[in-house]
Amino acid sequence: MQGNDPARRAVLEQLEQAALETYGEERSAEATLRTALELAATAVWRVAQERLEPLGPEPLPTHD
Amino acid sequence: MTDTHAPTALHELTAHQAAQLIADRQLSPVELVNDLLERSARVDGQVQAWETLDAERALEAAHVAEQLVGSAATPLGALHGVPFGAKDIFDTAGLRTSAGFGPYAQRVPAADSEPVARLKRAGAVLLGKMVTTQFAYADPPRTRNPWSAERTPGGSSSGSAAGVAARVVALALGSQTAGSVLRPAAYNGVVGFKPTYGRVSKRGVFPLAWSLDHVGVLARCVEDCGLFLSAVAGYDPADPTSVSEPVPSFAVEGEPPAPLLGIVTDALAAAVPRVAEHVTSVAKAFESAGARVVEVGLGEPLDLLLAVHHVIMQSEAAAAHWQLLEQYPGSHAPRLRAYVEVGRLVPSVVYLHAQRLRRRVRAAMARSLETIDALLLPTAIDVAPGRETTGVPSLQAPFSLTGFPSLSLPSGVLADEGLPLAVQLAAAPWQEARLLSVGRWCEAQLPRMPAPPIDG
């Protein structure tokens, strides 16, 4: 399961730590923030699994 | 849509039917606006689709439109005298535009957003503003689904979809960043259409995530989507995301041919069984009517598409809103607040990696579409859920990510729950004319959608 993947857990822990430092303990423990952290961790982890060479698609946010 | 089922009430008229009757001097725009205002007075207490009804100015505009019909020297626009609604993230000159945000409750723009301006130039009459979730994100709105008060109308174009379903207006502007046009269309049993990214200017429309935001429309037939697109499509030098692609005709021309459809097996697997079975049976009905249906994929795994979309949307939403969050503490809805707060923590390299992956994803999806007319898949993974959510965008978001045009058609009513079902079609970029043609063919094979069971 992706929730138990060590790399995903590491991403979640990094985001949790950043939330704690930025928003404090009380806010970081609230349910809406916890949910957002979990979802973001899964997305960041999944994106980071995909390898791209430096030469390749450029990161332009357009559709040309 | 064929006109063999002539509506008996003015509020049942589609936009193209109303436009034709007005042009033929068989219908007064004033009479039509008055009928929709009366309809709104009867049903909007239940549905709560309108954020602001602008009755006085709508009637003034309708009177002007009526006078112009009698003026032989003035060519009429394609939507002359036809009322429309606009989601409350579209700026409207002299009319409050608050985006569901408390501190903007008295915000009155000086100018129309470009889509509103273009619809007015085509002769359409702005009837009012329709409820949006706050800044078009995912916090549940006050709007009710006209099919069931206990179910969400979806979001974020909640009022636009519920209002079109409830017959308070035939045409309403919406916007989609993940699934905010097509999903509410599916949940409310109406047609939802999102053109190619860049086809329609977003000037004067509140952003949620710039590289994903699309202008779209809610209507009750595919033909109205073509009328809408003909009115609003085209390059706008004032919108950096607007593209100077040639604008073809989107008008209905003859009977559309039976299409070659690619049914998306990954999407069927992601839907609940009753929805997957429904879409499979719809595909079989299309085949029986002459379509060819082949199995295809989206080009890349669905979970990757959704992860790339999530990272981009959350990062851009955070960039768009973090200063507003600090400027107006306590004013943001809970889910949007958390989304922006966490979005600020996503590393920039991950955002850029996602944007690079997006190019790969887009190319792969384009290859899936090379030999077919359109993809066929469920619009949503299930029928409308409860009001604690606005639903799941997982089957609409892939086309917001790639910017490809997509269309949702109501395809039946779930017998035991009385809720609408829907199928989605998607085409290659800039192929809206083909998508709308396929949509018209499919629409003609599907059962006619009844009106929702509301009083009035």
DSSP assignment of A14-50, as one string? HHHHHHHHHHHHHHHTSHHHHHHHHHHHHHHHHHHTS
The helix, strand and coil proportions of chain B, stated in percent and rounded to the nearest 5, come to: 40, 15, 45
In angstroms, rounded to a whole number, what is the distance separating the alpha carbons of residues B390 and B183?
A: 9
Provide the Cα torsion B3, B6, B7, B8; round to 10°. Answer: 160
Residue B310 falls within a domain, yes or no? no
Number of Cβ within 10 Å of residue B142's Cβ equals 14
**What CATH number is attached to the domain comprising B167?**
3.90.1300.10
Instruction: Quickly state the pLDDT bin for B1 (edges 50, 70, 90).
Output: very low
Percent of residues, chain B, with pLDDT higher than 90 = 94
Encode pLDDT of B59-106 as tens digits: 999 999 999 997 867 789 999 999 999 999 999 999 999 999 999 999
In angstroms, rounded to a whole number, what is the distance separating the alpha carbons of residues A49 and B80?
A: 53
Q: Could you tell me how many CB contacts below 8 A there are between chain A and chain B?
A: 101
- Under an 8 A CB cutoff, do B303 and A46 touch? yes
Average pLDDT over residues B244-249: 89
Pick A19's closest partner by Cβ from B312, B345, B358.
B345
- Does the annotation mark B348 as catalytic? no
In angstroms, rounded to a whole number, what is the distance separating the alpha carbons of residues B259 and B140?
A: 37
Per-chain mean pLDDT for chain B: 96
Residues of A within 8 A of B209 (CB-CB) are none
> E strands of chain A, at which residues?
none
Q: According to the model, what pLDDT value does residue A61 have?
A: 53
Average pLDDT over residues B381-393: 98
In angstroms, rounded to a whole number, what is the distance separating the alpha carbons of residues B14 and B164?
A: 10
Q: What residue in B sits closest to A17 (Cα-Cα)?
A: B345
Q: According to the model, what pLDDT value does residue B7 have?
A: 65
Closest by CA position to A30, among listed A19, A39, A45, A18: A19
The pTM for the full model equals 0.96
Encode pLDDT of B166-195 as tens digits: 999 999 999 999 999 999 999 999 999 999
- Greatest alpha-carbon pair distance for chain A in Å reads 45
CA distance, residue B335 to nearest chain A CA (Å): 6
Q: According to the model, what pLDDT value does residue B120 have?
A: 98
Residue B318 has pLDDT above 80, yes or no: yes
Domain holding B194, by residue range, is 10-256+407-445
Residue B293 falls within a domain, yes or no? no
Q: How many domains does chain B have?
A: 1
Q: Where are the alpha helices (DSSP H) in B149-254?
A: 158-165, 182-188, 222-232
Q: According to the model, what pLDDT value does residue B254 have?
A: 86
Cα B270 from chain centroid (whole Å)? 22
Residue B429 falls within a domain, yes or no? yes
Please, are residues B359 and A32 in contact by the beta-carbon 8 Å criterion? no
Residue B165 has pLDDT above 90, yes or no: yes
Best of B202, B325, B356 to disrupt the A interface (most A CBs within 10 Å) is B356
Residues of A within 8 A of B307 (CB-CB) are 42-47
Closest by CA position to B403, among listed B435, B371, B366: B366
Cα A60 from chain centroid (whole Å)? 21
Q: Which two tokens stand for residue A46?
A: 């999944």
Residues of B within 8 A of A27 (CB-CB) are 341
Please, are residues B168 and B37 in contact by the beta-carbon 8 Å criterion? no
Q: According to the model, what pLDDT value does residue B73 have?
A: 74
Q: Which of B156, B230, B315, B394 is catalytic?
A: B156
Residues of A within 8 A of B342 (CB-CB) are 15, 19, 33, 36-37, 40
- Under an 8 A CB cutoff, do A46 and B341 touch? no
Instruction: Quickly state the pLDDT bin for B2 (edges 50, 70, 90).
Output: very low
Residues of A within 8 A of B355 (CB-CB) are 59-61
Instruction: Quickly state the pLDDT bin for A9 (edges 50, 70, 90).
Output: very high
Coil, helix or strand for A36?
helix
Encode pLDDT of B288-315 as tens digits: 999 999 999 999 999 999 999 999 999 9
Coil, helix or strand for B438?
helix
Coil, helix or strand for A49?
coil
- Does the annotation mark B158 as catalytic? no
CA distance, residue B337 to nearest chain A CA (Å): 8
Encode pLDDT of B3-51 as tens digits: 445 567 999 999 999 999 999 999 999 999 999 999 999 999 999 999 9
A18 — contact with chain B (CB < 8 Å)?
A: yes
Peptide linkage before B156 cis (omega within 30 of 0)? yes
- Greatest alpha-carbon pair distance for chain B in Å reads 61
Residue B112 falls within a domain, yes or no? yes
Encode pLDDT of B218-227 as tens digits: 999 999 999 9
- Under an 8 A CB cutoff, do B338 and A30 touch? yes
A52 — contact with chain B (CB < 8 Å)?
A: yes
Q: According to the model, what pLDDT value does residue B5 have?
A: 53
Q: According to the model, what pLDDT value does residue B456 have?
A: 60
Give the β-pairing of B125-130 and B50-53: antiparallel
Q: Which two tokens stand for residue B203?
A: 């000037």
**Domain positions in chain A:** 25-49
- Does the annotation mark B175 as catalytic? no
Best of A8, A32, A49 to disrupt the B interface (most B CBs within 10 Å) is A32
A35 — contact with chain B (CB < 8 Å)?
A: yes
Q: How far is CA B408 from CA B12, B330, B364, in A?
A: 20, 36, 22
Residue B451 falls within a domain, yes or no? no
Q: What are B378's strand-pairing partners?
A: B423
Residues 6+ apart with CB under 8 A from A28: A16, A19, A20, A34
Q: What sign has the CA pseudo-torsion B87, B89, B91, B97?
A: positive
Among B44-53, B154-163, B195-204, B246-255, the minimum mean pLDDT is found in: B246-255
